[in-house]
Chains A and B, each alone.
Chain A
């Protein structure tokens, strides 16, 4: 890597509340950058944040205050043109007029904030003009475009909120074309953010061709980061699923005759699973640089029982069961029958939850001796069924895709809903990969240095990757 030490500066400009800081949060993957609020003129100073690549700042984004009175500013700038010029010299060029304005008293007085924008714009390689395209194209916005064109810098218009209802993207595209701006980037700081970052850098690359190499390296770096984040997230998920598959709770067989004790056992198992899932989601949020406050919002359904209802809802389990296929269903059936005979649990057990998890493949295929010993000791075991594991994997993968597409300016929490019936990936390879965990109760806790465990983890990872590829659909889609 062979980059100059000084970063390429880019100014983010636009009308007040157009979403400049939101754009920067998304680009810098920094949830807490700047201040975003509904108040007009939240950003009142120019603030720079650098994008680092191997310890070198490659890009420096400058967040500027809004251009609040472009009509007034344009009037002042034009007046500077017509004012008493010094003799018969040539007319001042637009940048010279801006320099004259910045040197004048208005730049520290009435138009102090606008002066900050123009000062920042003077020293950068390109301007990102953020536009709230829900607004009609009013004269003040036309003045804004004209002022920015006076800065003599390449301008990339960024149409923010273009996914929102009532967006006037077509009006804006036409208006921007009037000012010679034909390359327009569509973006939505709040809605799911799919590839807009890449398109933005591609557009900047064509706009500032002298630094194309820099943008190429940045794009490559971002792609690597994305792959690394996904690999790390999948490793976390594989670990969660291994733990869930090996998780089991034992109880004396006679306690299972008591409906309350049975329900308590099921609740305990479910609590153990939720605790692990919460920990995994918290890790994901950290990996994707979302704040822990998001975790509470995301995890709200875990607390209020909605998630529980989703995961252990018999209807959902039935649907997931369809995707399991005959082979896995047979395997589950045998395990279930063995334990049912032992535990005296029936599918008619009181609650839907009990019906959903009751039983399980506690010992899988490998440990008949242990099974027999437990039988002699009068113990029964509860484990999480294959269908529930498949559903957990599916919901977590949906959440992962949402996190990957989420912008860092988004305020709404990610919600994991019930999975759609369609495009269900085949869960059989995943369940086959999870089978070894059934025979190892110790795998319910994290541990290092067990090679059989790491081999199983690798197999689960591979199955998850395949499933994710199916879930994701064709690449490049919105």
Chain B
């Protein structure tokens, strides 16, 4: 396992092995294995997540980039490399299979001394092949996820070794099940092995036939006389159609013995080529092409839960940019000064109140509030109106104002400027009454905001408090 630091290092990893090529298949395998590990225990992937975010353009690319980086750090990549070396042993096993089956074919043909019955040889060589091919073709309409071999492999290999290895194997099995990938890969493998076995057997047969004399014929004890020639003729049609030089039955019957042995040997070899080697080669090519096509198209399923969860985490990485920073620090917070006593003449001013608010507020018309104030004005906050109200206050020489505002709204700098204008540099006393508006009352917002004003006026949020402030005014 590599050290965690080796990910960020610009040098190639210290491992002497060749780095694994980054195929989509391997990336997806790593990503899925990591997701399986993460289901049990979350991984610390902050650095890899950020790097993958920069590296990839879209979600699938980013998921794979993260998998490669994280897999490298956690040693999954080297585990995968170890597992791929097992593929070497699989190849040896395959070669042994090829040798065994070609030896079996030769035994079927040459096993009975120098005398060969071609029909018997043909059936013996191609019988098992025909049976397995038929089974494979019949399995095609079934669901592609049926991999018995995968479960066998799992029993053999799964559940052993470190959790990374188990996760990789489970992820591999899952991927093989997806989209019939396993079927085409296995198909390519088995057809390829058969084709190799046929090729080897044919080569050997050609060598044997070249340098040893065999007697080839067809013979029977109980079958009708014409059956075997007809069979030979029937079998020969397909290679002949392919353009292979197969002798016709008439020629076989008319030829002399030595020529007939030669022609029958060719017939046997060409029949094995046309009925055994070529179909297997063709199917191997088709399966390989399909498997390659699917392998190339492998990508993380963007609708899979584990990919969606990564998507959310990637999306959270996108930074917002401050483009016009706040240069003025927050205004200093002034402690609220003690409620200054109001002095007559008094004015009651309603500022930016909702239209349905009764004016003057009926709550205030209590005996405790004393006589009505000198001025009772209400304004919506327009610039012209503000000038008029300020002029009226100056005209009546108002010395104290109770400003009534909607305590449910948000205070703003416009309100602040009007308050400052009302205070007239401290020449006029001011108190605020926060009226509970349609949206209720938000006294915390208001008191926090009032504290940032240069000369914070006292504020009340009940009519009783406002009336009490008005009452003791010296008139």
Residues of A within 8 A of B (CB): 15-17, 29-30, 32-34, 38-41, 44-50, 52, 54-56, 62-63, 65-66, 68-72, 74-75, 112-113, 116, 119-120, 132, 134-136, 138-140, 143, 164-166, 224, 227-229, 231-233, 235-236, 283, 286-289, 446-451, 454-455
Please judge, given known A-B contacts A69-B412, A449-B150, whether A112 and B328 are in contact too, CB under 8 Å: yes
B413 contacts which chain A residues (CB < 8 A)? 41, 68-69, 72, 113
Which B residues touch A164, using CB under 8 A? Answer: 439
Decide if B320 touches A33 in the complex (CB within 8 Å): yes
- Given known contacts A55-B58, A454-B145, A38 and B312 CB-to-CB distance under 8 angstroms: no
Some 6 contacts from A to B, beta carbons below 8 A apart, are: A38-B444, A40-B411, A40-B445, A45-B325, A48-B322, A140-B414
| Residues on A with beta carbons closer than 8 Å to the beta carbon of B305 | 232-233, 235-236, 283, 287
Contact of A116 among B309, B324, B409, B410 (CB under 8 A): B324
Q: Does B214 contact A (CB under 8 A)?
A: no
Chain A residues near B36 (CB-CB < 8 A): 448
- Asked whether B323 lies within 8 Å of A54 as measured between CB atoms, the reply is no
- Chain B residues within an 8 Å CB radius of A135: 409
- Pairwise interchain contact A451-B324, C-beta atoms closer than 8 A: no
A451 proximity list for chain B (CB < 8 A): 145-147, 150-151, 177
Contact A289:B438 (CB < 8 A) given known A40-B445, A116-B324, A231-B303: no
- Tell me the complex Cα distance, A132–B409, Å: 10
Minimum-distance CB pairs A-B, first 9: A55-B57, A449-B173, A68-B413, A231-B303, A17-B410, A46-B324, A139-B382, A232-B308, A69-B414
Residue of A nearest to B145 (CB): A451
Q: Which of A136, A288, A449 contacts B355 (CB 8 A)?
A: A136
Hey, what's the 0/1 contact readout for B345-374 against A, CB within 8 Å counting as 1? 000000010110000000000000000000
**A228 contacts B448, C-beta separation under 8 Å:** no
Q: Is the CB of A232 within 8 A of B304?
A: yes
Interface assignment of B171: CB less than 8 Å from any CB of chain A: yes
- B318/A69 in contact, CB under 8 A: no
Give A227 to B308 CA distance when docked, in angstroms: 11
A267 to B383, CA, bound (A): 69
- Beyond contacts A15-B410, A45-B326: 13 other A-B pairs, Cβ-Cβ < 8 A, are A15-B412, A40-B412, A46-B322, A69-B413, A72-B383, A134-B439, A224-B302, A232-B305, A232-B308, A233-B305, A286-B308, A287-B308, A451-B150
Is the CB–CB distance between A227 and B303 below 8 Å? yes
- Could you tell me the distance between the alpha carbons of A112 and B413 in the complex, rounded to whole angstroms? 12
Complex Cα distance, B56 from A54, in Å, reads 9
Q: How far is the CB of A171 from chain B (nearest CB, A)?
A: 9
Cα of A55 to Cα of B448 in the assembled complex, Å: 42
Q: How far is the CB of B354 from chain A (nearest CB, A)?
A: 5
Which residues does chain B contribute within 8 Å of A134, judged by CB atoms?
438-439
Please name all residues of chain A whose beta carbon is closer than 8 Å to the beta carbon of B158 when the two chains form the complex. 449
Closest B-chain residue to A230, C-beta based? B303
CB distance from A294 to the nearest CB of B (A): 12
Residues of B within 8 A of A448 (CB): 32, 36, 170-171, 173-174
Q: Are B412 and A287 in contact (CB under 8 A)?
A: no
Residue of A nearest to B439 (CB): A134
Partner of A55, one of B56, B386, B411: B56
Contact between A138 and B303, CB atoms less than 8 A apart: no
Minimum CB–CB distance from A336 to chain B (whole Å) comes to: 33
Q: Are the CB atoms of B315 and A68 closer together than 8 Å?
A: no
Chain A CB within 8 A of B474 CB: no
Question: Whole-angstrom distance between the alpha carbons of A113 and B330 in the complex?
Answer: 12
Known contacts A40-B445, A119-B324, A134-B438; decide if A68 and B414 are in contact (CB<8 Å).
Answer: yes
With A48-B323, A50-B318, A449-B150 as known contacts, state yes or no: A229 contacts B308, CB within 8 Å.
yes
Measured between beta carbons, the chain A residues less than 8 angstroms from B449 are 39-40
Distance between Cα atoms of A72 and B414 in the complex (Å): 7
B307 sits at the interface (CB 8 A): yes
Do residues B174 and A75 form an inter-chain contact, with CB atoms below 8 A?
no
User: Is B321 located at the chain interface by the 8 A CB criterion?
Assistant: yes
Closest chain B residue to A65, Cβ basis: B326
**Cα distance A454–B416 when bound, in Å?**
65
**In the complex, what distance in Å separates the CA atom of A463 from the CA atom of B58?**
32
Closest to B414 in A: A69
Q: Which chain B residue lies CB-closest to A235?
A: B305
> Does B259 make an interface contact (CB < 8 A)?
no
Closest CB in chain B relative to A289 CB, distance in Å:
4
Other-chain residue from B177, B352, B355 in contact with A454 (beta carbon distance below 8 A): B177
- From B302, B311, B326, B416, contact of A44 by CB (8 A): B326
The residue in chain A whose Cβ has the minimal distance to the Cβ of B39 is: A446
> Would you call A289 and B318 a contact (CB within 8 A)?
no
Residue of A nearest to B306 (CB): A232
Compute how far the CA of A70 lies from the CA of B382 in the bound complex, rounded to whole angstroms. Answer: 10
Interface residue? B78 (CB, 8 A):
no
Interface contact B412-A66, CB-CB below 8 Å: yes
Residue contact A449 to B410, C-beta cutoff 8 Å? no
A463→B414 CA distance, assembly (Å): 59
Alpha-carbon gap, A187 to B276, bound state (A):
71
Bound form: Cα–Cα A63–B385 in Å: 32
Report how far A450 CA is from B382 CA in the complex, Å: 73
- Beyond A68-B413, A227-B303, whether A49 also contacts B320 by CB under 8 A is yes
CB contacts (< 8 Å) of A65 on chain B: these are: 326
Residue B238 CB within 8 A of the other chain: no
Please tell me if B275 contacts chain A, counting CB pairs below 8 Å. no
Taking CB atoms, residues of chain B closer than 8 Å to A47 are 320-323
- Which residues of chain B come closer than 8 Å to A455, judged between CB atoms? 143, 145
Closest to A43 in B: B326
B312–A287 contact, CB under 8 A? yes
**Given A16-B412, A40-B410, is A71 in contact with B381 using a C-beta cutoff of 8 Å?**
yes
List chain B residues, Cβ under 8 A from A56: 57
Cβ-defined contact, A286 with B145, below 8 A: no
B130-175 residues at the A interface, CB under 8 angstroms: 143, 145-147, 150-151, 154, 158, 170-171, 173-174
List the B residue with the shortest CB-CB distance to A283: B305
- B385 closest partner in A (C-beta): A139
Q: Which residue of A lies closest to B446 (CB)?
A: A40
Given A47-B322, A48-B323, A139-B381, are A30 and B174 also a contact pair (CB < 8 Å)? no
Q: Kindly provide the distance from the CB of A280 to the nearest chain B CB, expressed in whole angstroms.
A: 9
Whether A32 lies near B316 (C-beta < 8 A) is: yes
A124 to chain B, nearest CB (A): 11
Residues of B275-331 contacting chain A, CB below 8 A: 302-305, 307-309, 311-313, 315-316, 318, 320-328, 330
A34–B319 alpha-carbon span in the complex (Å): 11
Q: In the complex, what's the smallest C-beta–C-beta distance from B420 to chain A, in angstroms? A: 11
A228 B303 Cβ-Cβ under 8 A = yes
Q: Which residues of chain A are within 8 angstroms of B304 by Cβ–Cβ distance?
A: 232, 235
- Bound Cα distance from A174 to B432, whole angstroms: 32
Q: Mark B11-54, 1 if CB is under 8 A from A, else 0.
A: 00000000000000000000010001001000000000000000
Q: Using Cβ atoms and an 8 Å threshold, which residues of chain A touch B147? A: 451
Q: In the complex, which residues of chain B have a beta carbon less than 8 angstroms from the beta carbon of A50?
A: 318
Q: Does the CB pair B326–A38 fall under 8 Å?
A: no
A120 to B412, CA, bound (A): 20
B454 sits at the interface (CB 8 A): no
Q: B319 — nearest CB in chain A belongs to which residue?
A: A49
B417 at the interface (CB under 8 A from A): yes
Within the assembled complex, what's the spacing in Å between the Cα atoms of A224 and B302? 10
Q: Is the CB of B324 within 8 A of A120?
A: yes
CA–CA, A233 to B308, complex, Å? 9
Which residue of B311, B324, B386, B448 has the most chain A CB atoms within 10 A of its CB atom?
Answer: B324
Say if the beta carbon of B380 comes within 8 Å of chain A: yes
Task: Please give, as numbers and ranges, the residues of chain A lying within 8 Å of B381 by CB-CB distance.
Answer: 71, 138-140
Task: Give bound CA distance, A65 to B409, whole Å.
Answer: 17
Q: Is B442 an interface residue (CB 8 A)?
A: yes
Which residues from chain B contact A166 at a C-beta distance below 8 Å? 438-439
| B-chain residues with CB within 8 Å of residue A33 when the two chains form the complex | 320
Residue in B303, B412, B439 whose beta carbon sits within 8 Å of that of A68 in the complex: B412
Closest residue of chain B to A167 (Cβ to Cβ) is: B438
- Whole-angstrom distance between the alpha carbons of A198 and B432 in the complex? 43
Contact A449 B320 (CB under 8 A): no
Measured in the bound complex, the distance between the Cα atoms of B306 and A228 in whole Å is: 11
